[in-house]
């Protein structure tokens, strides 16, 4: 029987709840499709700080490196906000992305037919939206140096550096072009080239790749305009190519097209080694432990893991279909609930998904 090693990282907040729902589904779907998933669970983020004093313990990173795929739920809690940066949960996630060299973050935004009226945006605007944010994930202002804080006699100054070199731009842009080829053949590169040197280089490199890919329709948008276009006419987009920070911001905005950030999955990939699959949403500490969380973004992330990471396409499709069936049947968690549907808890949505498999 085919076997795949999967490291599960439940993390913080709603993480453990959505992880147990997803694990049960993965167990069921693998059994049905004739392969075995061997799970190993490890700590990251706040829970790792509690037990190990560090947000990314050595054991977690080495288990991830040895695995076939990593499935993460969410990290973070405001109670760690005052810790020094290297001790914060977010640092654990950033170290994991860097440690696995996951430079390409894929965030698909597809409006599920049952949810066209769930968005705060008009149905006519979002119907049929199917776009993909390709976000650079291991460089830019998140990682570049110098960064830090300097105290003078009179005040304090803090700074980060937005920097990209040509090879970093080229490798993420190539992923964007490749994915555009497999989709509708359109690529929109996002920058702030009217102001930032780093963006000017970004645009120049994308232009060079455009010459080498004449079959792809390429345009460039300044990030402020891209943010506006995303709510004005999101259907114009196929692949959106962004730097780390711009992609972070635009993908949260794009998530709201789908009605809830609780719907958006993501895949982070390197040029070799295991990928990391995680929902775009955070750990939602305000609703943690109350069976209110929406597990669908994590289930859809698990589906991306099956498809991209483990090449189990049929099982990936089965998970997605079960999500659509449950939504069409009118079941919703609180974030998406309205008068005409049945509100269920996280665990109960999990049971419906199992039945729909």
Summarize as ranges the residues that interact with Mg ion (CB under 5 A): 248
Instruction: Name which of 57 and 92 has its Cβ closer to ligand IPM.
Output: 92
Q: What is the rounded CA–CA span in Å between residue 164 and residue 169?
A: 7
Instruction: Name which of 90 and 343 has its Cβ closer to ligand IPM.
Output: 90
DSSP-derived 3-state class of residue 112: coil
User: Could you tell which of ligand IPM, Mg ion, none binds residue 256, using a CB distance below 5 to 8 A set by kind?
Assistant: none
Instruction: Name which of 93 and 129 has its Cβ closer to ligand IPM.
Output: 93
Classify strands 265-269 and 148-151 as parallel, antiparallel or unpaired.
unpaired
User: Could you tell which of Mg ion, ligand IPM, none binds residue 169, using a CB distance below 5 to 8 A set by kind?
Assistant: none
Minimum Å gap between C-beta 260 and ligand IPM is 15
Does residue 12 carry a catalytic annotation? no
Does residue 77 carry a catalytic annotation? no
Classify strands 275-279 and 69-74 as parallel, antiparallel or unpaired.
parallel
- For the chain, the 3-state helix, strand and coil shares in percent, each to the nearest 5, are 50, 20, 30
Residues 294-323 binding ligand IPM (CB under 6 A) are: none
| Number of other residues whose CB lies within 10 A of the CB of residue 325 | 16
Q: CA-based angle 16:325:34, to the nearest 5?
A: 70
90 lines the binding site for ligand IPM (CB under 6 A):
yes
Q: Which residues contact 151 (CB under 8 A, 6 or more apart)?
A: none
Give the residue at shortest CB distance from ligand IPM: 90
Q: What is the rounded CA–CA span in Å between residue 283 and residue 54?
A: 18
Interface stretch with ligand IPM, choices 2-10, 79-87, 89-97, 126-134 (CB under 6 A): 89-97
Residues 175-214 binding ligand IPM (CB under 6 A) are: none
Q: What is the rounded CA–CA span in Å between residue 56 and residue 89?
A: 8
6 lines the binding site for ligand IPM (CB under 6 A):
no
Residues 223-262 binding ligand IPM (CB under 6 A) are: 248
Of 255, 202, 203, 246, nearest in space to 225 by CA: 246
User: Could you tell which of ligand IPM, Mg ion, none binds residue 90, using a CB distance below 5 to 8 A set by kind?
Assistant: ligand IPM
Q: How many residues bind ligand IPM (CB under 6 A)?
A: 6
Q: What is the rounded CA–CA span in Å between residue 159 and residue 113?
A: 44
Instruction: Name which of 94 and 226 has its Cβ closer to ligand IPM.
Output: 94
Does residue 222 carry a catalytic annotation? no
| Site residues for ligand IPM per CB under 6 A | 76, 90, 93-94, 248, 280
Please give the positions annotated as active site. Answer: 142, 192, 224, 248, 252
């Amino acid at each position: 029987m085919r076997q795949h090693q999967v490291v599960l990282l439940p993390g913080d907040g709603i993480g453990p709840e959505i992880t147990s729902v997803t694990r049960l589904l993965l167990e069921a779907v693998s059994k049905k499709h004739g392969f075995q998933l061997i799970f190993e669970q490890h700590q990251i983020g706040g829970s790792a700080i509690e037990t190990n004093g560090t947000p990314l313990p050595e054991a977690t990173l080495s288990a991830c490196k040895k695995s076939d795929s990593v499935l993460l739920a969410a990290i973070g809690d405001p109670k760690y906000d005052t810790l020094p940066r290297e001790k914060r949960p977010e640092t654990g996630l950033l170290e994991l992305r860097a440690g696995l060299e996951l430079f390409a973050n894929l965030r698909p935004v597809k409006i599920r037919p049952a949810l066209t009226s769930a968005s705060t945006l008009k149905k006519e605007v979002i119907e049929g939206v199917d776009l993909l944010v390709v976000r650079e994930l291991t460089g830019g202002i998140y990682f570049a140096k110098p960064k830090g804080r300097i105290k003078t006699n009179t005040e304090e100054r803090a700074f980060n550096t937005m920097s990209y070199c040509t090879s970093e731009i080229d490798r993420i842009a190539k992923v964007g072009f490749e994915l555009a080829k497999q989709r509708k053949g359109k690529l929109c590169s996002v920058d702030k080239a009217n102001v930032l040197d780093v963006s000017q280089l970004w645009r120049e490199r994308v232009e060079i790749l455009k010459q080498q890919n004449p079959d792809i329709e390429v345009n460039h948008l300044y990030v402020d305009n891209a943010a506006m276009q995303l709510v004005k006419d999101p259907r114009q987009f196929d692949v959106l190519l962004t730097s780390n920070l711009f992609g972070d911001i635009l993908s949260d905005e794009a998530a709201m097209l789908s009605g809830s950030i609780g719907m958006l999955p993501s895949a982070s990939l390197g040029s070799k080694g295991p990928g990391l699959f995680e929902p775009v949403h955070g750990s939602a500490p305000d609703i943690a432990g109350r069976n209110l969380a929406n597990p669908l973004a994590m289930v859809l992330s698990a589906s991306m893991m099956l498809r991209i990471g483990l090449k189990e396409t049929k099982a990936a499709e089965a998970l997605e279909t079960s999500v659509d069936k449950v939504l069409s049947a009118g079941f919703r968690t609180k974030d998406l609930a309205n008068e005409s549907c049945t509100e269920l808890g996280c665990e109960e949505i999990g049971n419906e998904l199992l039945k729909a498999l």
